[in-house]
Amino acid sequence: MIEIYLFLVFMIIAAIIAIEIKDLLAAAIAVGAVGFSVAILFILLQAPDLAIVQIVVEILTVIIFVAVIFRTTAIDETITKRFTPMQIFGLFFYGFFVILFLIIMEKIFNQLSPFGSPIMKIASEYIKMGLPKVGGVNIVADIILDFRGLDTLGEATVLFTSAIGVLAVMRKIGRK
C-alpha cells in the first residue's frame, strides 16, 4: 500500500511543477511523469487493461505536446511571480472550499459500507455470470461488450463523432 501513496505524492509534486514552471518542454515532461505514474498505479492496483491504454495514450499526448513546442515557443510568458489581489482572493476561496469538501466527504465516507461489500450487488453478478453466459475469459471484455454493450456502442459513436468534428473544423474544402 505504501508505494501507492508514494506515487500519489510524486504525482502531486509533478503536477504542481507542470503548471508552475516557465520552460514548456519541462512542463510537458512533467505531464508525462504524471501520466506514467497513473499507468504504474493501474498496474499496482491490478488493472492491466487500463495500464495498456494509459501508457499508449500518454506517449501520444507527450509526443504531440513536444512537436507543438518545437514548432512554436518554448517559454511560457504568462507565469509571473507576484500575486495579484484577485488571485489571493481566489486562493482564499479555494482553500475554504477544499476544507468544506473534506469535512463533508469525511461524513459521507463514514456512511458507506466497507470495502468489499458494496451496496449494489450487480457487480458480483457480472463476475459470476461472465464465463457461463458470455464465454470470454477476459472478464473486462465480457462486461464492456456484452453486459454494458450499449455503453460501449455510445462510446465508439462519440469517438467517431469527435473525430468527424475535428475533420470538419480542420478541412479546407467547403470552408469559404
* Binding stretches for other proteins (CB under 8 A): 48-49, 52-53, 56-57, 59-60, 63-64, 67, 131, 134-138, 140-142, 144-146, 149-150, 152-153, 156-157, 159-160, 162-164, 166-167, 170-172
Nearest approach, Cβ of residue 39 and other proteins (Å): 12
Q: Are 146 and 134 in contact (CB under 8 A)?
A: yes
Q: Which is nearer to other proteins, 87 or 157 (CB)?
A: 157
Q: Which is nearer to other proteins, 26 or 140 (CB)?
A: 140
Q: Is the dihedral of CA 52, 53, 58, 60 positive or negative?
A: positive
Q: Which is nearer to other proteins, 7 or 146 (CB)?
A: 146
Q: Are 20 and 43 in contact (CB under 8 A)?
A: no
Half-sphere exposure of residue 23: CA atoms within 13 angstroms, side-chain side: 4
Nearest approach, Cβ of residue 73 and other proteins (Å): 17
Nearest approach, Cβ of residue 49 and other proteins (Å): 5
Q: Are 30 and 14 in contact (CB under 8 A)?
A: yes
Residue with cell 507565469: 79
Nearest approach, Cβ of residue 175 and other proteins (Å): 9
β partners of residue 75: 23
Q: Which is nearer to other proteins, 1 or 150 (CB)?
A: 150
Query: What is the rounded distance in angstroms from the CA atom of residue 153 to the CA atom of residue 165?
Result: 18
